[in-house]
Structure 1
Amino acid sequence: MIDMHSHILENVDDGPETTEETFQLFEQAIAEGITTIISTSHALHPRYHVPCHVVNEQIAQFQQEIDRRNMPLTLYPGHEVRLAGNIVELYENGQLQTLAQSNYMLLELPSGTIPTYTSSIIYNLLTAGVTPIIAHPELNATFAKNPATLEQLIREGALAQITAGSLAGKFGKSIQQLSLQLVRSNLVHTYGSDVHNVKSRPFLFEKGLRFLEKEKLWDAVDVFLENNARIINNQPLIVYEPEDHFTKRSWKLFRAMKK
């Protein structure tokens, strides 16, 4: 299985602080059946910005040690990019990482609002050949109050990533139920742990998937895992048409994103 949202690099953002803590995460990932991790350290965040060369250097160093220890794990570079007006310029200048060097970028919105220029940034990224994947929309206050706001951004070409811990109940019942609503409404396309450490922000990758299976959303599990793999291979994702007004719950194949 592939985890496409993680904070695993040492002492660069709010993830692990030491090499030992990073390798504890790697061991936990392997125990949960994860074979591949895309590292998505923060970029353009108010508190953190991890430069591309730091990401690439740590990924190379950790992969070398992983291979030396014969651990069944592969790492890829990436960023969780905070929404900003100059994203496209920074990307084109090589200052921002996409996911595993693909045409997909993990895009983080402010937790309390949706800036008015969000749609224009999505349009500009798409025009530049980059498909934005909105990180953890279930944790955004505006999406929680009005999920149709997320639906509109998806109709404009964005995709969305749900967090394992949200589905597993880590952040409370209301966020868990909102996450379930978003999945059932075809407003989610990929699945990530957003792991930060082994104690307070662990992977919970398998637990989140088991919750979806308990809710009989087996198709969603299959699509999320397939799409995570497609990101690695830079392939079109399986995308479903959002259900109008969140009333229908069928999963009808709509289209695949064009590169």
Structure 2
Amino acid sequence: MIDIHAHILPGVDDGPNTIEESMEIIKLAIEEGITDIIATPHVYNPHYNVPAELVYEKINLLTLEINKYELPITIHAGQEIRIQHSTVEKLSDGEILALAKSRYVLIELPNDGIPLYTEQVIQRIIQLDKIPVIAHPERNRIIANNPQHLMKLINNGAIAQITAGSVAGHFGKNVQKTSLQLVDNNLVHAYGSDVHSLKNRPLLFDEGLSYLEKHKRLDAVDIFLENNFRILNNREAIILELGEIPSSKWWKIFH
């Protein structure tokens, strides 16, 4: 299995502080059956800005430790990119990283809203022949209140990644309920742990998948894991037809 969203690089953002903590997360990932992790530290986040050079430097350090103990896992480079007006220019200039050198780019929206320029940035990323992956939309307040906002971004060419902890209930029942509603309407396509630490923001990769299986979302599990593989290998993702969201179930779309 492949984890496409993880904060495992030591001492760069709100992930692990030390290489020892990073290795504890990596060893747990191996126990859960994960063979590849795309490291995605924050960039252009209001609190953290980890440049590409530092991403590669920290991955090299972790890889040395992994090889030292002959652990069966590979770490790949990426970033969780907070959306801004200049995202497209920085992506075009090679200043920010796609996921594992693929066409897929992990984009973070603010938790409490969607910037007015988001749709335009998504369209321009597509014009660069890259595919935006919206990180954890289930934790965005506007999308949770009205998933048609996410549907518009997907109709513009983006895909979305749901978080293991959200599905497993780590962020509360409301986020968990929203997660299942997005899954049921084919509004999410990939799956990531978004792990930050063993305690406060744990891995929960297997726990989230088990919850989906227990609640009869077996097809979703298969598609998430397949799309994670396709993202890592720069192949076209599986995108199912979006569900019909009843107006009685969701808030009407804002204009």
TM-score by length of 2: 0.95
Aligned pairs for 1:163-242 (under 5 A) are 163-242=163-242
Counterpart of 1:215, as a letter, is H
Residues 91 and 97 in structure 1, CA contact (< 8 A), matched pair in contact too: yes
- Cα distance in 1 for partners of 2:151, 2:237 equals 17
What one-letter code is carried by the residue in structure 2 that aligns with 1:70? E
Note the 1:118-137 alignment, pairs <5 A: 118-137=118-137
Q: Deviations over 1:172-215 (max 9, x none)?
A: 11110100000000000000000000111111000100111111
Name 2:52's counterpart in structure 1.
52
Give the distance between the partners of 1:246 and 1:224, measured in 2 at CA.
25
Identify the residue that residue 64 of structure 2 maps to in structure 1. 64
Q: Aligned partners of 2:108, 2:68: CA distance in 1, in Å? A: 34
Distance 1:91 1:156 in 2: 18
* Residue ranges of structure 1 left out of the alignment (5+ in a row): 248-259
Post-superposition CA distance 1:14-49 (Å, at most 9, x none): 000011111111111111111110000001101111
Superimposed CA distance per residue, residues 103-152 of structure 1 (whole angstroms, 9 cap, x where no aligned partner) = 00000001101111100000000001111000000100000111111111
Report the 3-state secondary structure (helix = DSSP H, G, I; strand = E; otherwise coil) of the residue aligned with 1:105: strand
Which of structure 1's runs of 4+ aligned residues deviate more than 4 A? none
The C-alpha deviation readout for 1:61-83, integer Å capped at 9, x for no partner, is: 21122012111110000000000
Q: Give 2:115's aligned residue.
A: 115
How far apart, in 1, do the equivalents of 2:84 and 2:129 lie? 17
C-alpha change, 1:246 and 1:7, in structure 2 (3 Å) is farther
- Who is 1:255 aligned against? none
Unaligned 5+ segments in structure 2 are 248-255
Matched ranges for 1:81-92 at <5 A: 81-92=81-92
Alignment of 1:123-162 (within 5 A): 123-162=123-162
Displacement, 1:246?
5.2
Q: Higher mean Cα deviation, 25-34 or 131-140?
A: 25-34
Q: Give secondary structure in 2 for the equivalent of 1:238.
A: coil
Query: Which residue identity does 1:138 align to in structure 2?
Result: E
Contact 1:191–1:224 (8 Å) recurs in 2: yes
Classify the secondary structure of the residue corresponding to 2:33. Answer: coil
CA–CA separation in structure 2 for the residues paired with 1:218 and 1:201: 25
Aligned counterparts of 2:246 and 2:194: Cα–Cα separation in 1: 26
Alignment root-mean-square deviation, CA: 1.0
Q: 2:3 matched to 1:3?
A: yes
Q: Distance in 1 between matches of 2:94 and 2:158?
A: 22
Partner secondary structure for residue 229 of structure 1: helix
TM-score by length of structure 1 reads: 0.94
SS for the counterpart of 2:7 is: coil
SS of residue matched to 2:6: coil
How many residues end up aligned between the 2 structures?
Answer: 247
Greater Cα shift, 63-72 or 127-136: 63-72
> Are the aligned partners of 1:185 and 1:246 in contact in 2 as well (CA < 8 Å)?
no
The offset of 1:57, in angstroms, is 1.3
Cα distance change on mapping 1:39 and 1:246 into 2, 3 Å: farther
User: Which residue identity lines up with residue 146 of structure 2 in the other structure?
Assistant: N
**Inter-partner Cα distance in structure 2 for 1:88 and 1:143:** 23
